[in-house]
């Protein structure tokens, strides 16, 4: 009985020693594998992050470009409204009649000369000088719900800057000394998604719709 007990004890001891050795061998391998897995991203993860960053960048650039384009449209509309309001105040204070003539790419302010019964281009005035809309901006003009077209003669006319009196020149929009405006609607746009409409009523009120 003693012999078997000794042999059994030795066998258990040998098995335990082998098991311990195997665990010692496995531990460095497992720790190395874990360290490799936790040391960085896999290639798939890196590619996924790069793809997400690319999408975010594209969306940001598109949003910035869209905002800048809309800013041009809003700036042109705000400038025109401010000039109309300023000319209206000046018309009331100085008892003068003003008008706006729309051109193919912009507009200019006119002043009525009673003695000559004619309209005169306002010159040497930084505020009411001739102005152009931003590039690629188009417009539709409506007076009394009727579409007004700028004729080819108006578009192609080349008038001398010194000859700023023209008996045939008539403004599209009147700004009277009484403070009244002739009602009109101006639709500024670049495309179907970028549209601003300016509407003026007889009492001088101006509404903006986007």
Q: Is the pLDDT reported for residue 142 higher than 90?
A: yes
- 3 state SS of 174: strand
pLDDT value at position 101? 94
Q: Please, what is the average pLDDT of the chain? A: 74
Encode pLDDT of 61-84 as tens digits.
444 444 455 688 999 999 999 999
186 C-beta neighbours (distance < 10 Å), count: 23
pLDDT value at position 69? 54
Read off the pLDDT band of 57 (50, 70, 90).
low
Identify the CA nearest to 184 among candidates 140, 150, 143: 143
Q: Which phi and psi (to 5°) does residue 208 adopt? A: -120, 130
- 3 state SS of 113: strand
Query: Are 186 and 206 contacting, i.e. CB atoms less than 8 angstroms apart?
Result: no
Mean pLDDT over residues 45-66, rounded? 58
Domains and CATH numbers, the chain: 64-209 (3.55.40.10)
Encode pLDDT of 130-141 as tens digits.
999 999 899 999
Q: Is the pLDDT reported for residue 33 higher than 70?
A: no
pLDDT value at position 35? 47
Q: Is the pLDDT reported for residue 32 higher than 80?
A: no
Residues pairing with 107 in the sheet: 102, 131
């Amino acid at each position: 009985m003693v012999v078997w007990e000794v042999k059994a004890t030795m066998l258990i001891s040998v098995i335990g020693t082998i098991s311990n050795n195997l665990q010692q061998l496995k531990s460095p391998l497992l720790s190395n594998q874990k360290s490799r897995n936790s040391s960085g991203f896999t290639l798939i993860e890196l590619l996924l992050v790069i793809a997400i960053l690319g999408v975010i960048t594209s969306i940001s650039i598109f949003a910035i470009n869209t905002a800048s384009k809309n800013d041009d449209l809003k700036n042109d509309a705000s400038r025109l409204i401010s000039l109309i309001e300023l000319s209206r105040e000046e018309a009331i204070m100085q008892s003068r009649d003003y008008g706006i003539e729309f051109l193919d790419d912009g507009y200019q302010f006119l002043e009525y000369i009673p003695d000559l019964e004619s309209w005169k281009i306002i010159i040497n005035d930084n505020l009411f000088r001739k102005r152009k809309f931003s590039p690629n901006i188009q417009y539709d003009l409506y007076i009394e719900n009727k579409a007004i077209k700028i004729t080819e003669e108006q578009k192609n006319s080349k008038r001398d800057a010194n000859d700023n009196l023209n008996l045939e020149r008539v403004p599209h929009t009147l700004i009277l000394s009484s403070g009244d405006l002739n009602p009109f609607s101006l639709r500024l746009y670049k495309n179907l998604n970028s549209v601003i409409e300016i509407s003026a009523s007889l009492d001088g009120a101006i509404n903006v719709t986007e």
